[in-house]
Amino acid sequence: MGKSRNVIVYIAQSVDGFIAKKDDDISWLSMVDAPGEDYGYMEFVESVDTVIMGRRTYEKVLSFGVEFPHKERKTYVLSNSKKGSDDHVEYYSGDVKELITYIRANSGKNIFVDGGAEVIKEFVKQDLIDEYVISTIPILIGNGVRLFKETEQEKKLELVASNSFPSGLVQNRYIVIRDEDKQV
């Protein structure tokens, strides 16, 4: 029996595996902006009702000066320094496995892990991610923040969808294969 409320990483990276430059600059993502093309993002966010992100990612989102994009979703910001909540989010400093267990105790839609790299590393370490939707932008940025930081975990993935777009963006969707998923 598969679990409901999958935990999904939906993120963009450069061809050389970075999600931001050293100074957290992500302006290079706009090179694939195209009128009327959101690469399935709106459809994806309709499938989630909970968002989890790190504090730096949250502060980056706020720096854009636009309306908070997840105001209609329950959003948790993982932070060791901030507590409580603000207009948009609840800060969380506990164990992420406990948070996922708490969220899954109630019925609902999928759970969006929106980064950054440290948050994704912790979710990988605790084997909490069910799917990855990774959009690769046709650029080498040379250095910066890697999507995947080194861990001791090895995870087998199954490619379930791959789409290429006129902009050069390639989007792959993977599901995580776990031993308990295999049929006997």
- Whether 124 is in a domain gets the answer yes
2 within a domain of the structure (yes/no): no
Q: Does residue 171 have a pLDDT over 90?
A: yes
- Radius of gyration from C-alpha coordinates of the chain: 16
Considering the domain boundaries, does residue 93 fall inside one? yes
Provide the CATH number for the domain around residue 14: 3.40.430.10
Dist. CA 19–CA 5, nearest whole Å: 25
- Is the pLDDT reported for residue 184 higher than 60? no
Average pLDDT, the chain: 92
pLDDT at residue number 1: 35
Predicted confidence at residue 14, as pLDDT, reads 97
Residue 2 has pLDDT above 70, yes or no: no
Instruction: Give the pLDDT mean for 26-54.
Output: 94
Per the structure, the complete domain to which residue 93 belongs is given by: 7-181
Task: Answer yes or no: is pLDDT of 146 > 70.
Answer: yes
In this prediction, residues 107-136 reach a mean pLDDT of: 95
pLDDT over 80 at 183, yes or no: no
CA angle (26, 32, 35) in 5-degree steps = 120
* Domain count along the chain: 1
Q: By the 8 A CB rule, do 97 and 128 touch?
A: yes
Is 1 among the domain residues? no
Pick the residue with more confidence: 2 or 103? 103
Residue 183 vs residue 12, higher pLDDT = 12
Residue 64 lies in a domain: yes
